[in-house]
Structure 1
Amino acid sequence: MSWTATTSSSWPRRATPRHPAWLRNLLAHPVTVVQRGARRHVVRTRVAGPQERDRLWPLAAAAFRHFETCRHRAGRVTPVVVLEPHGQPG
């Protein structure tokens, strides 16, 4: 796993002006474990800066059409969270 990115969408609960709890948890505890299929990966998370977000957002919106709708309804900038490899799972 090299890196991946996700967005702080509240889908499918409808867009809200507040960031979802999982994003607040990652901000407080940026090193975590994610699972892809049967494999677990330790990652360090960070919110993409403005230029990086501008590059990554169209990719996420193209893959998941609801992201753009959710962003408009929420009335906030939807952060893009970057997950980078960080050690081995325990």
Structure 2
Amino acid sequence: MKAYGRRVVQKVSATRGFARVAPHVVPALDRTVHRLTRGKLLLSARMLPGAVLTATGARTGLPRRTPLACLPEEDGTWLLVGSNFGRPGHPAWSANLLKHPEAEISWRGRDIPVRARLLTGTERARAWAAAVRLWPPYAAYQARAGREIRLFRLEPR
């Protein structure tokens, strides 16, 4: 996407109105496009790298599929940011990973078994800086969330 268009989308993404609507629209569109392209495409990946996380539900024990933005790292790991679009509560998928860290991601058409690890301290600070460089609206999400946004590193297993 052109730099101007990307800046406009980032500006809109940082708004409270987007935070109210996006959680209901973006994942549904992503799930549909992901299914129709047999795991090769996510609509939101036009802006950010994306994957579909399959994690075990913390309360139900059932598999839960969630399309998410991710930050692929050079060492073959991925960062997930539990921003929940800056809303006050943590996203459900993050509770799932805390209780059941073994999960799977669909990344570029491949299903990869992973283990999630919640980041803290200096490691979290470095990861947060990388996330905000990639997607500046994360800073606005953090400012209004009223909680520390969870960051996870997914490592292949």
1:38 aligns with 2:148: no
Task: Please say if 1:9 is aligned against 2:68.
Answer: no
CA distance in 2, matches of 1:45, 1:30: 5
Q: For each residue in 1:8-51, what CA deviation from the matched residue of structure 2 results, as whole angstroms up to 9, or x when unmatched?
A: 1112xxx2222111100111111011011111110000101211
Mapped to 2, the partners of 1:31 and 1:75 lie a distance apart of: 28
Show structure 1 runs of 5+ residues with no match.
Answer: none
Q: State the shift of 1:2 in Å.
A: 2.1
* Counterpart-to-counterpart distance in 2, 1:52 and 1:79: 12
- Structure 1 vs Structure 2 CA RMSD: 1.2
Structure 2 CA distance for aligned equivalents of residues 84 and 2 of structure 1: 7
Which residue identity does 1:61 align to in structure 2?
V
1:56 aligns with 2:130: no
2:139 corresponding residue in structure 1: 68
Computing the radius of gyration from Cα coordinates, the structure with the larger value is 2
Q: Deviations over 1:43-66 (max 9, x none)?
A: 000101211001111110111111
Q: SS state of the match for residue 73, structure 1?
A: helix
Runs (4+) of structure 1 moved beyond 6 Å? none
CA distance in 2, matches of 1:48, 1:7: 10
**1:78 matches 2:149:** yes
1:62 aligned partner, one-letter code = R
Q: State the SS of the aligned residue for 2:84.
A: coil
Which one has the bigger helix percentage?
Answer: 2
Unaligned 5+ segments in structure 2 are 1-74
C-alpha distance in 1 between matches for 2:126 and 2:142: 16
- Cα distance in 2 between the residues matched to 1:37 and 1:85: 15
- Which structure is richer in relative contact order (CA contacts within 8 A, separation 6 or more)? 1
TM-score (norm 1): 0.85
* Whole-angstrom CA distance in 1 between matches of 2:87 and 2:79: 21
CA distance in 1, matches of 2:109, 2:78: 17
